[in-house]
Amino acid sequence: MSDNKFQYEDEIDFKAVLRTPIRWFGIIYPYFLVIAIAIGMIWVFKMDILFNNKIPPALVDSTRIFKDIEQKKGFTLAGVDVIKLYSEREQLKSKGEEIYKANCSSCHGDKGLGDGVAGANLNPKPRNFTQSTGWKNGRKFSDMYKTLVEGIPGGAMVSYDYLPIEDKFSLIFHIQTLATDFPQVTETELKDLDVAYNLSQTRTMPNQIPVQTAIMKLSSEKISEKDKINKIQEFIDIHSNPAKDIFQSVTYNQEKALLTLFSNQNWRAEKENFVKLISSSVNQNGFNSKALMLNEERLNLLYNYMIYLFSL
Ligand code: HEC
């Protein structure tokens, strides 16, 4: 039969395959290709999971941490005799060590090597007091005092100015025990320090509140001011009153006039203050010069009307 010659084998002839092993490749090749593509696709689609970094990088850019001012009550810092205080350094070292352990060693380490636990992730790193290089303000007594007063901007070293002068001195006395090569302190250096920071003068530290709180306070005051004035303005518009005409005739800008009254409310206690407030900057404060020419009766009407409006 001549067409038998072209008949395809409908089954794999395993014997033939075994005889010529190269034919295996032809058989497994399609499967191999499919599996390879499948693995490749899984790889590509799951890449974000496979390579996801579960542990966040250790170094945090501490210059981006915003540290707000703490809320603190004001207080007085007594002035000191710098030379006398310096002469007491032997006694003050141990006090300095205590303050150091409580406030500084978390970052700078117990021995001042800059290896405190809280400092591990900081950038820049806490200063190693035993190393003489890399200091920004410097290693002199007065330099360290400056650091304590002002802090180092742009990092974790904040100001410790709230500490009494004696405590700041004690801290530096302690730090100076951590290495032997700190620069010698001179009398002129101490005197200059006294002048620079007014150390012999008693100082009053004002109350301070965080910037965020201050902003909130200011904006909420602004809102309540606007609300109040809108409310009064609305009332004036809607309700008739004999004094309403007087108010309209003595103002060139009602809202501004109300703002003036809102900003300094001691006029509510006395009519005299009311007259003073209006006349102090007439033609700029919302009131016009007619306000200065009111007779007693009309002035009384206006005054009582305003008292009434502001108590709404
Ligand atoms: C929150 C961590 C932290 C604490 C707490 C801290 N420091 Fe620092 N301190 C730093 C860092 C960070 C620097 C390095 C700043 C830089 O290089 O900008 C530094 C630098 C300094 C320097 C060197 C300044 C210079 O001239 O380069 C002195 C001195 C210092 N600190 C003293 C103190 C003392 C004293 C205390 C405790 C009252 C203290 N620090 C508490 C983090 C801290």
Backbone angles phi, psi at 266, to 5 degrees: -70, -10
Structure tokens at 60: 């945090």
Q: List, for residues 120-154, the tens digit of each pLDDT value.
A: 888 899 999 999 999 999 999 999 999 999 999 98
What's the mean per-residue pLDDT of the chain? 87
Name, in order, each residue with C-beta under 8 angstroms of 246's C-beta and a sequence gap of 6 or more. Answer: 294, 298, 301, 302, 305
Confidence label for 2 from pLDDT (cuts 50, 70 and 90): very low
Q: What is the pLDDT of residue 100?
A: 96
Q: Whose CA is nearest to atom 11 of ligand 1?
A: 126
Determine the atom of ligand 1 nearest the C-alpha atom of 122: 12
Kindly compute the dihedral angle of the four CA atoms of residues 33, 38, 40, 44, in this order, to the nearest 10 degrees: 160
Q: List, for residues 259-292, the tens digit of each pLDDT value.
A: 999 988 889 999 999 999 988 888 889 999 888 8
Count CB neighbours of 199 within 10 A: 21
Q: How many Å lie between the centroid of ligand 1 and the Cα of residue 307?
A: 57
Q: Please list every protein residue whose CB sits less than 6 Å from any atom of ligand 1.
A: 103-104, 106-108, 118-119, 122, 124-127, 135-138, 143-144, 147-148, 152, 155-157, 160, 171
Q: What is the pLDDT of residue 25?
A: 78
Is the per-residue pLDDT at 101 higher than 70? yes
